[in-house]
Amino acid sequence: MKISQISLFLENKPGHLSSVCQTLADAGISIRTLSLADTQRFGILRLIVEDWKRAKAVLEATGCVVNVTDVVATEVEDRPGGLAALLRPLEESGVNVEYMYAFALGNKGRATMVFRFDQPDAAIEILKKSGVSVLGSVNLFRPAT
Amino acid sequence: MSDSRASGPDAAARFHPASSLDYVPREQLRRLQSQRLKEVVSRVYDHVAFYRRRMDQLGVTPSDIRSIDDVDKLPFTLKSDLRDEYPFGLFAAPLGQIVRLHASSGTTGKPIVAAYTQHDLDVWKNVMVRTFAAAGLSEGDIVQNSYGYGLFTGGLGAHYGAEALGATVIPTSGGNTDRQIMILKDFGVTAICCTPSYFLHVLDRAAEIGIDVRHLPLRVGVFGAEPWTEAMRRRIEELAGIKAYDIYGLTEIIGPGVGAECSGQNGLHIFEDHFYPEIVDPETGRPVPEGADGELVITTLTKQAMPMLRYRSRDITAFLPGSSPSGRTLRRIRRIFHRSDDMFIVRGVNVFPSQIEEALLRVEGTLPHYQITLTRQRGLDDVDVQIEVTPELFSDRVSAMENLQQRLAKAIEQTVNIRVNVSLVEPHSIARSEGKARRVIDKRDL
């Protein structure tokens, strides 16, 4: 149930983010969600798109360095303590969250979060055991309407 | 192939008769050098006003030169002398006998002119045949010559040498990397000549378009025209699955063909029967003790059109002791990766780009494209090393990238003993050159 996330190296310069977005737009690739980690000198853009292989190819064709990482997407109950409850069993098992970000749209009182774990497979096992719904590509990109 | 051949010098190559002078006994070589030095000194004294003036100033006449040991009585020639005498002031032959002119790229001011009589072109061809033969090439090899054809000596120098060797020469010249790769692949090229930095660029591009050069028939690279390091050789050999040989030359002397590595890949044999080498202290001009570092100084022994007496190359090297594994008797110099021109001084410390290169390779085992920018703010020098992020270096985690930046900065600081800023930049954001890589941008107002 892992999701492939693509990430890109960006210099902190005007126009660099928009040109990446334009490349994807021109290829008809829709960004499902994204997160931009910025430091003083550079940024790392992480993207979730449905056709990550094609996204990687079109971005590499423009000269970008593109990485693919396994991440885990889950539903989190949109209530106080929802995220804390999800994280607790992971912490107890020593699985570390490298970073996380949320999907733009939640539905029906649930938020969708993307996690970059140091041990994604272990994380999925733990999450499933504690009854958290881990989302696959099908749920993410073709949500029931 | 019989066993005795396989174990002999440069076993893979058929022996080319031109190479026999590479193995000449030292005493015979000395006699040849002495005879030739006397001839060339007479020639320049009689025909070049500049040399007659310099020798008169030192109180030296051609009759004072009795053997090669008298070479240090002669005046030095500096690069600035070539500029002062631009364009034809140092010619020792009438224009009617000069059949070719070349010129250096000359990044500042006027270029350096090189002139050749037909005899000089034959000498050049001879030393280039020996250069290729030393790299294990022979008749039957297919040589892609990606040195630039034109005023630059590299293109035509390598071209005529490879042809005279009996190889099949493809004169691709520089540039149009995709076409270079296509020819490399389609023509079954076995050897390539270009600058090592350009070859790395070719390898980069080949990887991008999904061609693994290791699976091509290419087996030898003959690289020169810029300083490069042992670490860069290892990287090239590993990525391309070839043997990478260093060659040495300079426009002022003849172009490529002054020195070349043999199968031992340990130092460059100087073709001493044509180019007499000395190594001197760059400050005092006096010879350094045998084996010590110094500036390479070359006297051309056979050139007619534009002979050079004791030309100061500005290249830092040392004579290597011991005998060559290939059995060549010609003296070897250590590969040149310090050119005094490339050196920059930051906060009183001498730094060579090659040191920064070594540090980069040590950290990640790869050599990303890089550039060094020097700036000065309020009297303080800053060194910024821009390094292009490669797929091998890139991580989606900020901490990993910051860590990488720190490791790179630390490795460079440990090598050169000054603090530097490391900036990670996007791939292909540093300008590529088709010829010599431009590693240092000095924006200081010195």
Q: Are A39 and B391 a contacting pair at CB < 8 A? A: no
Crossing angle between the packed helical segments A82-92 and A120-129, to the nearest 10 degrees: 120
Residue B71 has what pLDDT? 97
CA–CA separation, B439 and B354 (whole Å):
10
Q: pLDDT confidence of B3, banded at 50, 70, 90?
A: very low
Specify whether A76 is located in the same domain as A126: yes
Crossing angle between the packed helical segments B230-240 and B353-364, to the nearest 10 degrees: 50
Specify whether A47 is located in the same domain as A79: no
Q: Are A67 and B394 a contacting pair at CB < 8 A? A: yes
Residue A107 has what pLDDT? 67
pLDDT in tens, B82-117: 989 999 999 999 999 999 999 986 545 678 899 999
Residue A78 has what pLDDT? 82
Is A141 domain-assigned? no
Q: With 50 as the cut, is the pLDDT of residue A145 above it?
A: no
Specify whether A92 is located in the same domain as A124: yes
| Domain limit, last residue, from A69, A88, A113 | A69
Q: Are A63 and B427 a contacting pair at CB < 8 A? A: yes
Query: Residue B329, class by beta-carbon neighbours within 10 Å (0-12 exposed, 13-18 middle, 19+ buried)?
Result: middle
Q: Are A65 and B394 a contacting pair at CB < 8 A? A: yes
Q: With 70 as the cut, is the pLDDT of residue B169 above it?
A: yes
Q: Which among B155, B227, B148, B146 has a CA at the least distance from the CA of B187?
A: B146
Crossing angle between the packed helical segments B353-364 and B398-416, to the nearest 10 degrees: 140
pLDDT in tens, B259-279: 999 999 999 999 999 999 999
Nearest CB among A65, A99, A116 relative to B390 is that of A65
Contact list in B for residue A11 (CB cut-off 8 A) is 425-426, 429
Please give the mean pLDDT across all residues of chain A.
87
- What integer is the mean pLDDT of A24-38? 91
Q: Which among B188, B160, B187, B156 has a CA at the least distance from the CA of B174?
A: B156
Q: Are A9 and B389 a contacting pair at CB < 8 A? A: yes
Phi and psi at residue B126, to the nearest 5°: -60, -50
Please give the mean pLDDT across all residues of chain B.
89
Specify whether A120 is located in the same domain as A106: yes
- What integer is the mean pLDDT of A51-66? 92
| Domain limit, last residue, from A69, A104, A119 | A69
Q: pLDDT confidence of B159, banded at 50, 70, 90?
A: very high
Specify whether A75 is located in the same domain as A65: no
* A34 vs B275 pLDDT, higher one: B275
Q: Give the mutation candidate from A19, A35, A42 for the B interface (greatest B CB count, under 10 A).
A: A42
User: Rounded to a whole number, what is the distance in Å from the CA of A64 to chain B's nearest CA?
Assistant: 7
Nearest CB among A5, A11, A99 relative to B426 is that of A11
- What integer is the mean pLDDT of B292-318? 95
Q: With 60 as the cut, is the pLDDT of residue B10 above it?
A: no
Give the domain extent around A81.
71-134
Residue A18 structure tokens: 């928009």
Residue A44 structure tokens: 């790392």
Specify whether A85 is located in the same domain as A47: no
Contact list in B for residue A64 (CB cut-off 8 A) is 426-427
Contact list in B for residue A99 (CB cut-off 8 A) is 397-398
Contact list in A for residue B409 (CB cut-off 8 A) is none
The 10 Å Cβ neighbour count of residue B159 is 21
CA–CA separation, B444 and B288 (whole Å):
33
CA–CA separation, B300 and B313 (whole Å):
12
Residue B237 has what pLDDT? 97
pLDDT in tens, B128-154: 999 999 999 999 999 999 999 999 899
| Domain limit, last residue, from A14, A46, A69 | A69
Is A145 domain-assigned? no
What domains can be seen in chain B, in order of their start residue? 3-27+102-339 (3.40.50.12780), 344-442 (3.30.300.30)
Nearest CB among A10, A42, A69 relative to B396 is that of A69
Specify whether A17 is located in the same domain as A31: yes
CA–CA separation, B359 and B356 (whole Å):
5
Pairing verdict, β B380-388 and B421-425: parallel
The CATH number for A27's domain is 3.30.2130.10
Residue that has been written with the tokens 């006027």 in this structure: B110
Amino acid at B169: V
Contact list in A for residue B404 (CB cut-off 8 A) is none
Q: With 80 as the cut, is the pLDDT of residue B347 above it?
A: no
- What integer is the mean pLDDT of A47-69? 92
Query: Residue A73, class by beta-carbon neighbours within 10 Å (0-12 exposed, 13-18 middle, 19+ buried)?
Result: buried
Ramachandran region of residue B106, left (φ > 0), alpha (ψ -120 to 50) or beta? left
Q: With 90 as the cut, is the pLDDT of residue B9 above it?
A: no
Check: CB of residue A6 under 8 Å from CB of residue A66.
yes
Q: pLDDT confidence of B2, banded at 50, 70, 90?
A: very low
Amino acid at B368: P
The per-residue DSSP string of B300-363 comes to: ESS-SSS--SSEEEEEEE-BPPS--TT---S-EEPPP-EETTT-EEETTEEE-HHHHHHHHHHH
Rounded to 5, what percent of chain A is helix, strand, coil? 30, 40, 30
Residue B5 has what pLDDT? 36
The per-residue DSSP string of A51-118 comes to: SHHHHHHHHHHTT--EEEEEEEEEEEESSTTHHHHHHHHHHHTT--EEEEEE-S--BTTEEEEEEEES
Q: With 80 as the cut, is the pLDDT of residue A64 above it?
A: yes
**CA B286 → CA B68, B279, B283, B295, B415, distances in Å?**
16, 8, 8, 10, 29
Is A36 domain-assigned? yes
Q: Are A11 and B428 a contacting pair at CB < 8 A? A: no
Question: Which residue in chain A is spatially nearest to B402 when comparing CA positions?
Answer: A39
Q: Indicate the SS3 state at residue B162.
A: helix
Q: With 90 as the cut, is the pLDDT of residue B186 above it?
A: yes
Q: Are B397 and A116 a contacting pair at CB < 8 A? A: yes
Nearest CB among A11, A37, A66 relative to B398 is that of A37
Q: With 60 as the cut, is the pLDDT of residue A86 above it?
A: yes
Q: With 90 as the cut, is the pLDDT of residue A25 above it?
A: yes
Is A139 domain-assigned? no
Contact list in A for residue B401 (CB cut-off 8 A) is 9, 39, 42, 44
Residue A98 has what pLDDT? 92
Instruction: Choose the weakest-confidence range: A63-67, A139-143, B210-214, B323-327.
Output: A139-143
Specify whether A100 is located in the same domain as A130: yes
* B409 vs A139 pLDDT, higher one: B409
Nearest CB among B391, B401, B428 relative to A42 is that of B401
Contact list in A for residue B426 (CB cut-off 8 A) is 9-11, 16, 63-65
Specify whether A62 is located in the same domain as A94: no
The per-residue DSSP string of B242-291 comes to: SEEEEEEEETTTTEEEEEEE-TT-SSEEE-TTTEEEEEE-TTT-PBPPTT
- What integer is the mean pLDDT of B229-257? 94
Q: With 50 as the cut, is the pLDDT of residue B8 above it?
A: no
Q: With 70 as the cut, is the pLDDT of residue B231 above it?
A: yes
pLDDT in tens, B389-415: 988 889 999 999 999 999 999 999 888
Phi and psi at residue B48, to the nearest 5°: -120, 110
Residue A143 has what pLDDT? 57
User: Rounded to a whole number, what is the distance in Å from the CA of A23 to chain B's nearest CA?
Assistant: 16
Is A30 domain-assigned? yes
Is A98 domain-assigned? yes
Specify whether A76 is located in the same domain as A99: yes
Measured at the CA of A66, the angle between CA A65 and CA A68, to 5 degrees, comes to 155
Specify whether A41 is located in the same domain as A84: no
CA–CA separation, B142 and B217 (whole Å):
10
Residue B217 Cα to chain centre, angstroms: 25
Residue B435 has what pLDDT? 56
Specify whether A14 is located in the same domain as A62: yes
**CA B229 → CA B214, B235, B249, B292, B355, distances in Å?**
21, 10, 16, 19, 9
pLDDT in tens, B363-379: 877 778 889 998 888 77
Residue ranges of chain B whose CB lies within 8 Å of a chain A CB? 389-391, 394-398, 401-402, 405, 423-429
| End-to-end alpha carbon distance in chain B | 61
Residue A142 has what pLDDT? 66
CA–CA separation, B262 and B268 (whole Å):
7
Contact list in B for residue A5 (CB cut-off 8 A) is 396
pLDDT in tens, B27-81: 999 999 999 999 999 999 999 999 999 999 999 999 999 999 999 999 999 988 9
Number of domains in chain A: 2
Measure the CA dihedral A40/B355/B208/B406, to 10°. -30
Strand order in the sheet with B294-300: B275-280, B294-300, B311-317, B338-339
The CATH number for A108's domain is 3.30.70.260
Is A75 domain-assigned? yes
- What integer is the mean pLDDT of A89-118? 85
Is A142 domain-assigned? no
